[in-house]
């Protein structure tokens, strides 16, 4: 848990200023009937309580910026840790965890991401953020990236905002798996970085 930023909620304000992994005690009305909790569905969404909550394959996908050289461009968005997928040729790498989804028709995923690639102008490497059932069948795709989403100047590292809606009507109230999967081919090199992830009912974000 990072102590660099405080979570503030003012009485009468429209919303709260959230940081990942801080308890969010709010309950907000949804769909005109009942309330839903605003706690982050992802355990250790900022990766700083390493490696709690996540199943990394391989385990080396969790990066401590303090172990990188002082001249290395990549740094965590909050705390010291971030997830680094891709980065190798002809490989499939993943980060996943089990989550309990509340009865709500829509979730929202927010966080930080960065894509750095050596690209030839065609799709070579891909990353998908999916929610899957116990058989591995995809229930929803929250986001997808390719090497073509690379920053225009990969020498300049900067986190980009990730914000996307996830329809959850078919799996609300169930336990499912949140999964990030990167698939790279035999040539060039694409790096997919993630940090400070929050997955909450859409009414909360």
Question: pLDDT band at residue 12, thresholds of 50, 70 and 90?
Answer: very low
For the 41-204 domain, the top CATH level (class) is mainly beta
- CB burial of 191-202 (b: ≥16 within 10 Å; e: otherwise) equals bbbbbbbbbbbb
Which residues contact residue 18 at a Cβ distance below 8 angstroms, ignoring those fewer than 6 apart?
Answer: 7, 24, 198, 205
Q: 51 or 32: whose pLDDT is higher?
A: 51
Q: What end-to-end distance do the CA atoms of the chain give, in Å?
A: 20
How far apart CA 110 and CA 199 sit, in angstroms, is: 7
- Residue 25, CA distances (Å) to 37, 38, 40 in order: 7, 7, 10
Query: Could you report the per-residue pLDDT of 143-166, keeping only the tens digit for each?
Result: 999 999 998 765 689 999 999 999
């Amino acid at each position: 848990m990072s102590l660099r930023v405080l979570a503030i909620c003012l009485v009468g304000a429209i919303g709260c200023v959230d940081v990942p992994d801080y308890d969010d005690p709010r309950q907000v009305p949804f769909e005109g009937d009942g309330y839903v909790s605003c706690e982050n569905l992802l355990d250790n969404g900022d990766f700083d309580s390493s490696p709690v909550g996540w199943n990394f394959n391989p385990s080396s996908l969790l990066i401590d910026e303090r172990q990188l050289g002082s001249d290395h461009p990549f740094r965590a968005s909050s705390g010291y840790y971030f997830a680094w997928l891709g980065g190798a040729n002809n490989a499939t790498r993943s980060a996943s965890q089990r989550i309990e989804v509340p009865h709500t028709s829509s979730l929202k995923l927010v966080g930080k991401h960065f894509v750095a690639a050596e690209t030839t102008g065609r799709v070579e490497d891909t990353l998908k953020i999916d929610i899957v059932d116990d058989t591995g069948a995809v229930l929803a795709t929250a986001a997808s990236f390719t090497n073509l989403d690379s920053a225009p100047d990969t020498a300049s590292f900067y986190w980009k905002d990730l914000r996307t809606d996830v329809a959850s009507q078919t799996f609300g109230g169930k336990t499912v798996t949140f999964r990030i999967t990167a698939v790279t081919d035999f040539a060039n090199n694409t790096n997919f970085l993630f940090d400070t992830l929050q997955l909450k009912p859409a009414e909360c974000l």
